[in-house]
Structure 1
């Protein structure tokens, strides 16, 4: 049974639930993968305009680590997981136990580890969204890149075509003891996907 409400906060409450469930799934999956307890803070969920995505990671010219993939199915879209280089190094050191050198060069092992973490995150959030909406949502094989944020987003546009105007932002924080690392997870539904998603979540569009 779907819930309908004209409360303007209801839409965000539903999306926060997507983030909370996805974070729980991701923490469990990462703990199994790394064979150590991994916790994730309650994520902050918001909507941001597509053109503001780069601002969240320091601007268009800021070099970032990005995992990106295409979502196919009933509500297609694009997913990006963006981290600053310092946060990527912290993630590798604190969670994976890999000592990553400063700079833009990453070993194949480091890139593989970061890509797998991004893949687990994407799968966890996508699975929670699919469970709550009842829609079929299938991720493509993820790709990883280290480049300027503007170049990564432009490449995404070239690869996937025109994206929607708005992105669902889930700020993700990994916790291990007192150490933490964070990243920004963006789901950018295709223009026609928003209505399908929210109607499936029981949120009427006004």
Structure 2
């Protein structure tokens, strides 16, 4: 049988155990700090004027007035009473919009990772760079209304039908039929 050489354990110096645990805690905190720094910054929504009621869902269509700017204040887009389907918007816009309420005014800052990323965005007609790659975006938004995607589609269909009826009325009646007689007019 083989015999193992026995090595006596040396006693730990006074205070060494405390130093060891402090080192472990510092290593854990440093690792957590590095992990936190590696996560992209989130969308920031500042409330300028309070809204009321519920928040839109990620699949809703929002009706907004907005101005989109770069960090230096350059305006790249704006609109009045624009319907925006959140499930078709850049991820940061949808993430911020679900934090808003009807009637409120907000400033939303979207980091480039949740916006257009590293690619330049160009004007399709001129080819000019409108949003340089890696740009954070700032939107001033007034939340006018929101509705489900299904409600929006139904309203759009109703509007199209009304426009067709108005157009037919302006042309003298339905295609192929007799002209409409207005009330109070003698028959033709």
TM-score by length of 1: 0.23
Larger % of helix: which?
A: 1
Larger Rg: 2
